[in-house]
């Protein structure tokens, strides 16, 4: 009888197959610093980040839990302000309507600024450094 691999039971974790082949890759210090920072933002080690990216994964920066919660709360408050504005308009309260409209506009401008800033940081994380594409450097 040959050795058989038993399928893991439900609830048991399978041991991942150990990687046994290594490849030396040389980087300029600035390149390694960028890779290390990108990996950190994605919650990965530099080696895992390089391996997954090379195999076709699209790295995604982790969203800070506090930032996500703050944006959710700001959106919730904005919706309530919109409701108050509609109620003030329906009741023909001119001064209240104007003030609420100004507050709502300011609120949504701040939310857009926070969201746009977060998107720029994520996009910038994966942007090529200036001149990298034109350098024409090739691997020896």
- Within the chain, how many helices (H) and strands (E) appear? 4, 0
- What is the number of domains present in the chain? 2
**CA 115 to CA 117: how far, in whole Å?**
5
46 and 70, same domain (yes or no): no
Considering the domain architecture, whether residues 71 and 117 belong to the same structural domain is answered as: yes
What is the number of other CB atoms lying within 10 angstroms of the CB of residue 54?
10
Share of the chain above pLDDT 90, in %: 19
pLDDT in tens, 103-134: 888 888 888 887 777 677 666 655 666 555 54
Q: Do residues 108 and 71 share a domain?
A: yes
Look at residue 138 and tell me if it is in a domain: no
The per-residue pLDDT for range 53-100, each reduced to its tens digit, is: 999 988 777 766 667 777 788 888 888 888 888 888 888 777 787 888
Same domain, 94 and 118: yes
What is the residue range of 113's domain? 65-125
């Amino acid at each position: 009888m040959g050795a058989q691999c038993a399928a893991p039971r439900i609830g048991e974790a399978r041991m991942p197959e150990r990687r046994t082949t290594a490849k030396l890759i040389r980087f300029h210090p600035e390149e390694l610093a960028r890779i290390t920072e990108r990996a950190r933002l994605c919650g990965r080690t530099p080696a895992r980040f390089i391996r997954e990216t090379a195999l076709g994964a699209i790295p995604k920066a982790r969203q800070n839990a506090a930032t996500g919660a703050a944006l959710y709360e700001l959106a919730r408050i904005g919706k309530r302000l919109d409701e108050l504005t509609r109620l003030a308009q329906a009741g023909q309260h001119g001064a209240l309507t104007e003030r609420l409209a100004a507050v709502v506009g300011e609120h949504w401008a701040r939310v857009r600024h926070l969201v746009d800033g977060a998107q720029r940081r994520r996009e910038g994380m994966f942007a090529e450094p200036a001149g990298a594409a034109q350098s024409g450097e090739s691997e020896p």
